[in-house]
Structure 1
Amino acid sequence: MAEQNKHLYYIDELSDYKISDGYPDVRGWDVKDIDNRVIGKVDNLLVNKEAERVVYLDVEVDKSIIDAKYDPYGRPVQTEVREFVNKDGENHIIIPIGLVDLNEDSNYVYTDIIDHRTFSETKRYRKGGNINRAYENQVLGSYQRRRTGSADSRDLDVFKDEIRLREIIREEIRRYHHDIDKDVTYGTLETHDASRPRVDDDVLIEDEIELSQRRSNDEVYDDDNFYKRREFDDKRFKKRTPGL
């Protein structure tokens, strides 16, 4: 990845960065899922320079995650396409800082919204690898499949926002095609100029897939707002003040 497109840096490769007061250094701490099951250990912290803070935990996963042998969520349907399958040596995942909490008495990190299978179905990468925006989006999409039955209202709002976003995208596509071909009436057998193709749901689905792929490109979400999402809210990650 070109340096100018790099979003994330490991904290130990930034000589002028250190963990701020009030935030614990959780490197080496176990990470537990919603069922109190260890899914790995914090190996490093990932920093976004523009946000000037840690935004992800870099976690070396437990052997049980690898042994589960689930294909990553988001893998293409075609069996011959294998680029999203976890490969040997890929044993790290990233977790947004806003999806975890701390147990400072026993020195471990935990999440109350993501289960073991979801972690097992998340695309992994090799230790020290560059993290691009496409991978970030894929991981966030995987975690949004967490068990909603145990999620609080904040997490359900995130899930509903994604649903609404897809509805907006489809409506915008329909309006776009309606503007360029006003002769088309959806859901009817209206005759029209044969030189102008009819817009149907297959076309809409293809366009939606294209838009979804564009959302994964670095240039689409390379902006100042990406790390303002609720997944990166680190309020719960700060050290607790005694007596509070």
Structure 2
Amino acid sequence: MSEHKKNLYYLSDLSDYKVASDNSDVRGWEVEDTDHRIIGKVDRLLVNKNTERVVYLDIEVDNSLIEDGHEVYNTSSSEGVHEFLNKDGENHLIIPIGLVNLDKENKKVVSNEITHSTFAKTKRLGKGTDVDRDYEVSVFKNYFPEKQFDENDLMDENFYNRREFQNSKERE
């Protein structure tokens, strides 16, 4: 991916960026779904340099999520459904920062909107893989399958102004 088209950077790769002192550094914290099932741990933070803030948590997924499988894998290709297959080593996924709340007392990140099954059906990446807009949009659509999205809305510069990218302080 060329640098001029790159939207997201891992915080650890940006020497002049760090977690603000009034925010919690959630790296290493467990991540729970809506039913308080562990889906993994926060491995890294993804920053949008234009907005100068963290917009995604990069999660190293728990083996239970990988083992849950994906029912579409058994669907015959003649039925017209062609979905991705996660490969060995693809054990990371992203969560928009606005879809989680922090349980600071227990050092946990909790999603109040996404189920274990939805996380299991989400396309994963290998650790440290560059995240491009196509992947962002596919994840976003997977997390909100009931919503109708205008493709232009998902591609323009206002993409990160959505509620889903507001941290808990911005939502208060």
TM-score if structure 2 supplies the norm length? 0.88
Instruction: Map residues 24-173 of structure 1 onto 2, 5 A cutoff.
Output: 24-70=24-70, 84-145=84-145, 162-163=147-148
> What corresponds to 2:168 in structure 1?
235
Superposed, 1:140-219 pairs within 5 Å as 140-145=140-145, 162-163=147-148
2:168 maps to amino acid: K
Report deviation, 1:81: 8.3
Take 1:48 and 1:72, find their aligned partners in 2: how far apart are those partners?
Answer: 32
Determine helix, strand or coil for the equivalent of 2:157: coil
Contact 1:72/1:84 (<8 A) preserved? no
Alpha-carbon distance in 1 for matches of 2:46, 2:107:
19
| Alpha-carbon distance in structure 1 between the residues aligned to 2:21 and 2:138 | 32
Identity %: 49
Larger Rg: 1
**Structure 2 gap ranges (5+):** none
Going by fraction, where is strand more abundant, 1 or 2? 2
Distance of aligned partners of 1:50 and 1:110 in 2 relative to their CA distance in 1, 3 Å threshold: same
Query: Which residue identity is paired with 1:7?
Result: N
8 Å Cα contact 1:23-1:237 kept in structure 2: no
**2-structure distance, mates of 1:71, 1:128:** 27
Shift of the alpha carbon at 1:237? 7.8
Task: State the number of aligned residues.
Answer: 171
Residue 235 of structure 1: how far off its partner (Å): 2.9
TM-score (norm: length of structure 1): 0.63
> Matched residue of 1:55: which SS?
strand
* Kept after mapping to 2: 8 A contact 1:99/1:111: yes
Specify the SS of the correspondent of 1:134.
Answer: helix
Structure 1: distance between partners of 2:165 and 2:78: 33
Contact 2:101 2:168 in 1 (8 A): no
Unaligned runs of 5+ in 1: 146-158, 167-211
CA RMSD of aligned residues (A): 2.9
